[in-house]
């Protein structure tokens, strides 16, 4: 029997990280726009950013962020003579209006109306962050008694955790006064929860308009930002860009696209004929990259099979998707996974996609060479793609072994059972009845515009790997590993300014990746800041700790969220005391072994190694031998 060789192609649909939809101005996210986070980053402050479930009270926020209510900064917007004032109080205190009026010498101080809050701050009531520039801010003294505080990042779903000192730095101006009530507020569980409805933009079908609801007569207007992002990806994949491209209507008779068609690209897409390299250097050809709109979300309350009805949330309808289609160049499920990793890395470099916030779905085409092809649709998650392919290849091989024919069909993947199931006999492209979209006639992009976008592309993984090899003389392996993870590559760039590059590369590619891979964490999710890793590398470089201790510290930093210095203290090796302790140990060992010390003075190498061993043993691997060696030599030569 001839060799049964799998042939795999992928179709990836990824949501582009735009602020508005593809053909209308509706926002793509419920106020999760991270402008507060970006503002703090721009100011160069150190803080933690956290996304979480809906929080409507300070008590909710405290729970979600694992803090106490007095640490939550309550930003109350007031008006006095038509001018806004923001009061910043601990979450468990009320504003003492009498004190506030006295301080401001204002009789007509009053809470701003919801409309005024929006006008003054651009935020909805309850989601105002303290960091609004250009407004008078008054901070209650009690708030600053906390070492750490936390506030809303401009919406009900995310927060900033920051030290009180950095917090003050985040404000363009402030005055510090005692303006809060003496008694503490208690959480009222009956506190009109139903009255405090979520902000309008958080509700289903709120981020919609006639266009994305498919109303007759509404017309699509192309979002240029989405086109630019799509172009960046296409260029990053080395695609040829079509200077003229078209949109088409694809027949789609399901309620999640109210128009009964999906606007997509068919005849002439954004880009064609690209490639992406796998880790081992294998080239995977890209057939095309095109833009299309995301359908709405179907909501089956209680589960697909249990629910008697289906709800539709059009908030998702019209979010820009980029579809990337590969040639069937992939040969194993493992390669498919590596391709997705490489693609995600490229997207991170290009900053057009944020995992967790934007969704990426994969359709796979898989066949055994010479036999009919099967499409497995809508697989979410890279591991699921690998599992679905593994199952499907085995299934097809068995069919062939039994002498049965594989029909051309579309299958679905059930993650729980790890099996694929037939959904329908596959449509051919003709079944979709594509026609040109008459409301979006020919889109033309000038050569200059393409050149401009190309020029603005950041350094991409391939280029980065080459630069690291050239500038730092790193091995190709280290350079490629560093470039294949955007976050770790960035960390290396920062570290190499202070740390010997090869030491940093070795530690990051081996120890750090081992710890992250073991816990299946990304650097971002691990919560270890770049600063702390660099601190650790400095200790290692100065030989204040051994590699073994550094690795141990790293594990503790990831799991127990401690800093390198805390680790040293716990291990009984404070940064400075480390040296003193070693000195003391050297003196003791010399005193206890006078003969060996004398032998050394006579020039016996062995005696020195014996003494060194004695000292090093006392520190159970926590002291760097070369550092001990230096101190011991110094002591012996005295």
Report the interface residues with Zn ion, using CB under 5 A.
24, 26, 209, 211-212
Partners of residue 448 on adjacent β-strands: none
CA gap 315, 587 in Å, rounded: 72
Cα distances (angstroms) measured from residue 159 to each of 3, 118, 624: 56, 19, 41
Closest CB to Zn ion among residues 200, 577: 200
- What are the structure tokens assigned to 26, written together? 């509706």
Place of tokens 């363009």: 172
Smallest separation (angstroms) from Zn ion to the CB of 315: 9
Smallest separation (angstroms) from Zn ion to the CB of 156: 22
Q: Which residues contact 501 (CB under 8 A, 6 or more apart)?
A: 472, 473, 474
Q: What is the largest CA-CA distance in the chain?
A: 100
**Helix 625-637 × helix 575-592 angle, to 10°:** 50
Place of tokens 């935020």: 123
CA gap 484, 462 in Å, rounded: 9
CA 460, 465, 471 angle in degrees (round to 5)?
115
Among candidate residues 159, 109, 149, 157, the one with its CA nearest the CA of residue 129: 159
CA gap 340, 328 in Å, rounded: 14
Closest CB to Zn ion among residues 24, 352: 24
Cα 35 to chain centroid distance, Å, stands at 15
Smallest separation (angstroms) from Zn ion to the CB of 151: 31
Closest CB to Zn ion among residues 22, 104: 22
Closest CB to Zn ion among residues 23, 245: 23
Smallest separation (angstroms) from Zn ion to the CB of 258: 11
- What are the structure tokens assigned to 241, written together? 């860009």
Place of tokens 């917007």: 77
Smallest separation (angstroms) from Zn ion to the CB of 21: 5
Closest CB to Zn ion among residues 24, 284: 24
Cα distances (angstroms) measured from residue 337 to each of 383, 410, 525: 7, 21, 21
Phi, psi of 264 (to 5 degrees): -140, -170
Cα 16 to chain centroid distance, Å, stands at 14
Smallest separation (angstroms) from Zn ion to the CB of 228: 20
Closest CB to Zn ion among residues 158, 208: 208
Closest CB to Zn ion among residues 18, 345: 18
Closest CB to Zn ion among residues 211, 546: 211
Smallest separation (angstroms) from Zn ion to the CB of 210: 7
Among candidate residues 435, 365, 370, the one with its CA nearest the CA of residue 397: 370
Smallest separation (angstroms) from Zn ion to the CB of 19: 13
Among candidate residues 102, 104, 100, 175, the one with its CA nearest the CA of residue 144: 175
109 neighbors 80 (Cβ within 8 angstroms): yes
- What are the structure tokens assigned to 426, written together? 């596959």
Smallest separation (angstroms) from Zn ion to the CB of 70: 42
Closest CB to Zn ion among residues 212, 453: 212
Smallest separation (angstroms) from Zn ion to the CB of 26: 3
Smallest separation (angstroms) from Zn ion to the CB of 44: 37
Closest CB to Zn ion among residues 24, 289: 24
**Helix 530-541 × helix 486-495 angle, to 10°:** 50
Closest CB to Zn ion among residues 212, 481: 212
Smallest separation (angstroms) from Zn ion to the CB of 434: 23
CA gap 100, 109 in Å, rounded: 8
CA 425, 430, 433 angle in degrees (round to 5)?
115
CA gap 616, 148 in Å, rounded: 40
Smallest separation (angstroms) from Zn ion to the CB of 530: 39
Q: Whats the size of the chain, residue-wise? A: 638
26 neighbors 316 (Cβ within 8 angstroms): no
Cα 597 to chain centroid distance, Å, stands at 57
108 neighbors 17 (Cβ within 8 angstroms): no
Closest CB to Zn ion among residues 25, 456: 25
The SS3 assignment for 95 reads: strand
Closest CB to Zn ion among residues 210, 433: 210
Smallest separation (angstroms) from Zn ion to the CB of 351: 24
Closest CB to Zn ion among residues 91, 220: 220
Smallest separation (angstroms) from Zn ion to the CB of 217: 14
Phi, psi of 584 (to 5 degrees): -60, -45
Q: Which residues contact 188 (CB under 8 A, 6 or more apart)?
A: none
Closest CB to Zn ion among residues 26, 55: 26
């Amino acid at each position: 029997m001839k060799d049964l060789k799998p042939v795999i192609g992928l179709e990836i649909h990824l949501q582009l990280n735009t602020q508005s939809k593809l053909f209308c101005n509706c926002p793509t996210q419920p106020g999760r726009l991270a402008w507060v986070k970006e503002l703090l980053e721009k100011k160069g402050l150190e803080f933690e950013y956290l996304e979480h479930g809906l929080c409507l009270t300070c008590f909710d926020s405290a729970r979600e962020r694992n803090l106490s209510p007095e640490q939550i900064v309550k930003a109350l917007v007031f008006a006095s003579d038509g001018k806004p004032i923001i009061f910043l109080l601990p979450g468990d205190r009320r504003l003492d209006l009498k004190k506030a009026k006295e301080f401001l010498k204002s009789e007509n101080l009053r809470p701003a109306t919801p409309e005024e809050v929006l006008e003054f701050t651009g935020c909805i009531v309850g989601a105002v962050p303290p960091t609004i520039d250009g407004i008078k801010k008054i901070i209650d003294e009690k708030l600053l008694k906390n070492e750490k505080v936390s506030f809303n990042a401009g919406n009900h779903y995310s927060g900033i955790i920051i030290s009180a000192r950095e917090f003050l730095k985040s404000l363009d101006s402030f005055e510090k006064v005692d303006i809060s009530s003496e008694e503490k507020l208690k959480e009222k569980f009956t506190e009109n929860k139903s009255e405090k409805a979520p902000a309008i933009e958080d509700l289903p079908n709120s981020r919609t308009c006639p266009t994305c609801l498919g109303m007759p007569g509404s017309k699509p207007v192309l979002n240029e930002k989405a086109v630019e992002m799509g172009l960046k990806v296409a260029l990053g994949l080395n695609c040829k860009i079509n200077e003229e491209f078209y949109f088409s209507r694809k027949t789609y008779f399901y309620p999640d696209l109210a128009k009964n068609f999906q606007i997509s690209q068919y005849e002439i897409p954004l880009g064609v004929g690209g490639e992406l390299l796998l880790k081992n250097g294998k080239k995977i050809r890209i057939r095309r990259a095109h833009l299309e709109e995301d359908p709405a979300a179907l909501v089956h309350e209680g589960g697909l099979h249990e629910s008697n009805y289906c709800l539709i949330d059009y908030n998702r309808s019209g979010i820009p998707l980029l579809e990337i289609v590969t040639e069937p160049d992939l040969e194993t499920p493992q390669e498919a996974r590596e391709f997705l990793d490489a693609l995600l890395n490229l997207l991170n470099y290009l900053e057009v996609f944020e995992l967790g916030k934007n969704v990426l779905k994969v359709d796979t085409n898989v066949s055994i060479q010479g036999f009919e092809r099967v499409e497995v649709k809508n697989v979410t998650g890279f591991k699921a793609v690998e599992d679905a392919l593994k199952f499907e290849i085995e299934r097809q091989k068995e069919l062939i072994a039994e002498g049965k024919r594989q029909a051309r069909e579309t299958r679905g993947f059930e993650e729980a059972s790890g099996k694929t199931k037939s959904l329908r006999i596959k449509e051919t492209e003709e079944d979709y009845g594509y026609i040109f979209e008459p409301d979006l006639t020919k889109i033309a992009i000038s050569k200059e515009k393409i050149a401009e976008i190309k020029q603005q592309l950041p350094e991409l993984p391939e280029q980065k790997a080459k630069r690291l090899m050239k500038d730092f003389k790193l091995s190709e392996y280290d350079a490629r590993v560093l470039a294949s993870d955007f976050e770790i590559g960035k960390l290396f760039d920062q570290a190499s300014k202070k740390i010997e590059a090869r030491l940093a590369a070795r530690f990051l590619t081996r120890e750090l990746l081992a710890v992250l891979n073991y816990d299946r964490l990304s650097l971002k999710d691990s919560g270890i800041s770049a600063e702390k890793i660099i601190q650790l590398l400095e200790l290692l470089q100065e030989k204040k700790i051994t590699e073994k201790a550094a690795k141990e510290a790293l594990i503790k930093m990831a799991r127990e969220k401690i800093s390198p210095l805390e680790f040293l203290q716990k291990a009984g090796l404070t940064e400075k005391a480390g040296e003193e302790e070693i000195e003391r140990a050297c003196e003791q060992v010399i005193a206890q072994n006078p003969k060996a010390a004398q032998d050394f003075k006579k020039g016996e190498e062995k005696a020195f190694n014996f003494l060194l061993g004695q000292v090093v043993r006392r520190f159970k691997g926590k002291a760097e031998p070369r550092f001990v060696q230096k101190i011991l030599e110094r002591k012996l030569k005295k």
